[in-house]
Amino acid sequence: MESAFIFGQVGNLTECLGTGWSVEDTYAWAIGYESTIALPLPADNETYRTRFTVHGLTNAGIRDAQRLIVKAGDAVLGRFAVAGRTTVEVALPPALTAGQTYIVLTLLHPDALRPCDFLDSPDTRPLTICFHSAGLVQDRPEATPETQTDLPVGIVAGNFSALQLTRIVSALPSLRGKFKIHYIDTHPHLEETAHTRPPDTLSSAVFCWLQHGTGRASTTQALRAALPADCGVRRFGIPELHAFWPFLGADPRAVREADRYIPARYRFGDRIAMGLTQHAMNDDLLYMIYNGHAEQEMPDLNALLAIDVLNWKRLDARCDVKLASALESSLRRERPFMAPTIPGPALLRMLAERLLDTPAIRDVASHADLLLELDDIMSGYVGRREELPIHPSVAAHFQLSWWREDQTYRWYGNRWGFRDYILDYIRWAAWRP
Amino acid sequence: MTRKVLIYANCQGEELMLNGRFVPSLADDIAFEWIPAHKVALEDWETLYGPDFMRDVVVLWEQTEAGPIGPHRAALYQRLPPGCEIVKFSPMTALFMWPFSGNDPRIAVDPDRYPWPDSMAAVLSTERLGDDALFDKYMELTASRMPDLERRLRLDAARWRATDEMADVKVADWIEGTFRTTKLFHTSGHITAAASGPMFKQLLQRTQGIDRRRAGSAIAETDALLRHHQGQDFECVPIHPLVAERLGLTWYDPDALYRWHGHEWTFKEYILRYIRWAPYLD
């Protein structure tokens, strides 16, 4: 919707109302036989419709609806019978709107009622229809799957992170109406997801961003084979980080609990915590013992990070999108990882920024504009709500600038600090998604 | 045999259902199911909620509603197994905390983007100003138009008392005594865990069809289950600072971040995005 207007003293249409109105705080009654309104227009050459949200004054059995005729000059734009709250819509004649800053509409409403005649009310005004709001809507073809079939296709293939990238990129205004961006999950066989896309999606793709190291090899092979020869394929990877969580380990309690916790109640194991499960004691003491063990068994964190960095470089070598150096420089001031295998918004943004530098996209949109739009759509974005708490000593060691003493972490519907998390983990406490 | 506690309610019923499903003492043999009273369609009674669905229902937790019994509630009553225990509870609403919820014509065209209307923000939707100027204008407009919030509270309280009249578990006194010191609402109709937990415990307390000992354990477990939970927070409409001040909300934090789908925004960020009807990520 291009413009939203509210009737009433508090609204933004008061100065646009001509004759035949009784304006109240948050609405305006059309009174008598005729009202006029000069509806603001954006002075361009687009075609518009306007929608009024209204309700009619009725007297059951005598006047069950109010008639409303909307005119512009001599042209009748619409006729309605208004009873309960409803929205009426008329197309505005382009000849009267092109280049104009307003259009004068005449509203005919010949069925006025005086509330004092049939209600316990002293109101003697000849009321007809109560106008609450109006909207100016530009006529543009709906972006339905049918109308989008002519658009060039972009493919993003991989796991949930690829889906997130698809959503981010699809929301960028500069690409809207220029590409149909399609996500393909590479875990099932390609033919199993065929029903989710029009038949010629793959054969008409102009670019494909393919996530490396996830999904079925047979699916990615089939996908590549189905793409046209001139489709630009760029491989990207989702790096992992283990140095921030040095006690990761497989916990035998981590099993699927059907209908409740999938894949497990606590999906990331902690080998220090799992050694304390038999300790029945109060929170303070248990946490003190955990920390004692953690400090004793703390590995060389710099060495762990060096392994992570090495793995990022290896991933870079297999991908077209390079991340290792940017990750290294941003790791302490941004938050690229929410959990060892879960990218945060900072990493998704890094990836999107690099992937958007794709020839087919550069042809239709400025990269600088796309980056600004990326900043805007990702403002305040927190991504998946699966954040694995970081041990305070680890945060201190790496001097994580975003970390606070009272740092809390999102976990589905919950927010908890490291201490609460680890105590609940030790006790394998139930939590609610 | 798994016995079923059926909840007939608006989306607050989903919170109660999930509390029931995840509280350890009831996990083994009591199933919690929810019929969304605000979304159910007539054909659902034959398809989704037929005899198989209703067979094991031993308890109905029914959210009360002012006005006559509608066709859906009648359909529900017809299908309940004989002897089914019914415990009634009130819905929780808080229109008074969002006094500008009203009219925004954009919702008719795009109902899902920002479904909690702010009529003052809508008034500013035609302005072409920078962030600070636009926000200042919103604050100026809303300050000058701020209604009598105590009167709005009384109107809500009257609604709570009307539904309380029909309910076994009542909310009016509890909300009035609690909302200033504890955040109970994310929107005018979505509740926090601080609201769903006490309601859940009271329902368990009132329900004879659940073994008393196990109900007692479940009540004891509920606080631990929900102590970090945020409730129905996928859409949190920020509280206007003047509303917080005038209502004396002790928990109010002017720098708070409010979740909106995949984002977390301040009051100012939310309002600017709302005015501009800006897209966002899930």
Q: How confident is the model at residue A147 (pLDDT cuts 50, 70, 90)?
A: low
- Tell whether A381 is within 8 A of chain B (Cβ): yes
Distance of CA A384 to CAs A220, A286, A387, Å?
25, 30, 8
How is domain A3-138 classified at the CATH fold level?
Jelly Rolls (2.60.120)
Give the pLDDT mean for B162-187. 98
Whole-number pLDDT of residue A26: 84
Percent helix, strand, coil in chain A, to 5, is 30, 25, 45
DSSP reduced 3-state for B75: helix
- Tell whether B120 is within 8 A of chain A (Cβ): yes
Give the pLDDT mean for B109-125. 93
CA A332 to chain centre: 27
Give the pLDDT mean for A168-179. 95
C-beta of residue A341 within 8 angstroms of C-beta of residue A245 = no
Chain A residue closest in CA terms to B101: A26
Domain segments of chain B as ranges:
3-91+165-226, 95-150+233-275
- Phi and psi torsions of A205, nearest 5°: -70, 135
Nearest to A399 by CA among A332, A327, A337, A346: A332
Q: For A182-199, write each residue's pLDDT tens digit.
A: 999 999 999 999 999 999
The answer to whether A413 contacts B233, with C-beta atoms less than 8 Å apart, is yes
Q: DSSP class of residue B191?
A: B
Question: What whole-number distance in Å separates Cα of residue A219 and Cα of residue A432?
Answer: 35
CB atoms within 10 A of CB A271: 14
Over chain A, what is the mean pLDDT? 95
Tell me the pTM: 0.91
Structure tokens, A366: 């400025």
Chain B residue closest in CA terms to A50: B105
C-beta of residue A12 within 8 angstroms of C-beta of residue B121 = no
Q: Is A338 left (phi over 0), alpha (psi -120 to 50) or beta?
A: alpha
Question: What whole-number distance in Å separates Cα of residue A309 and Cα of residue A316?
Answer: 10
Q: Which amino acid is at B172?
A: A
C-beta of residue B254 within 8 angstroms of C-beta of residue B241 = yes
Q: DSSP class of residue A397?
A: H
Q: How confident is the model at residue A9 (pLDDT cuts 50, 70, 90)?
A: confident
Whole-number pLDDT of residue B93: 97
Structure tokens, A38: 């000069």
Residues of chain A positioned with their CB less than 8 A from the CB of B141:
10
Range(s) within chain A of domains with CATH label 3.40.50: 142-237+345-383
Question: What whole-number distance in Å separates Cα of residue A1 and Cα of residue A23?
Answer: 25
Q: How confident is the model at residue A1 (pLDDT cuts 50, 70, 90)?
A: low
CA A156 to chain centre: 17
Only one residue has tokens 């407009």, namely: B141
Residues of chain B positioned with their CB less than 8 A from the CB of A134:
105
Question: What whole-number distance in Å separates Cα of residue B251 and Cα of residue B98?
Answer: 16
Residue A167 is nearest to which of B108, B110, B281, comparing CB atoms? B281
Structure tokens, A379: 């403002």
- Tell whether A406 is within 8 A of chain B (Cβ): no
- As a whole-number percent, the residues of chain A with pLDDT over 90 amount to 92
- Phi and psi torsions of A305, nearest 5°: -65, -40
Q: For A323-382, write each residue's pLDDT tens digit.
A: 999 999 999 999 999 999 999 999 999 999 999 999 999 999 999 999 999 999 999 999
pLDDT of residue A140 exceeding 80 = no
Please state the three-class secondary structure of A275-344 as a single string. Answer: CCCCCCCCHHHHHHHHHHHHHHHCCCHHHHHHHHHHHHHHHHHHCCCCCHHHHHHHCCCCCCEEECCEEC
Whole-number pLDDT of residue B102: 82
Strands A127-138, B57-63: pairing is unpaired
Q: For B23-68, write each residue's pLDDT tens digit.
A: 999 988 899 999 999 999 999 999 999 999 999 999 999 999 988 8
Give the pLDDT mean for A394-399. 98
- Tell whether A256 is within 8 A of chain B (Cβ): no
* CATH code at A142-237+345-383: 3.40.50
Residue A131: which H helix or E strand, with range? strand A127-138
Instruction: Specify the length of chain A in residues.
Output: 433
Preferred mutation among B103, B109, B232, B233 to probe A, highest tally of A CBs within 10 A:
B103
Residues of chain A positioned with their CB less than 8 A from the CB of B19:
432
CB atoms within 10 A of CB A143: 12
Give the pLDDT mean for B176-200. 98
Whole-number pLDDT of residue A259: 83
pLDDT of residue A143 exceeding 90 = no
- Tell whether A429 is within 8 A of chain B (Cβ): yes
CB-based burial of residue B27 (10 Å sphere; 0-12 exposed, 13-18 middle, 19+ buried)?
middle
Structure tokens, A325: 């150096």
Residues of chain B positioned with their CB less than 8 A from the CB of A376:
278
Give the pLDDT mean for B114-142. 95
Level-2 CATH architecture, domain B3-91+165-226: 3-Layer(aba) Sandwich (3.40)
- Tell whether B255 is within 8 A of chain A (Cβ): no
Give the pLDDT mean for A4-25. 91
Q: For B203-238, write each residue's pLDDT tens digit.
A: 999 999 999 999 999 999 999 999 999 999 999 999
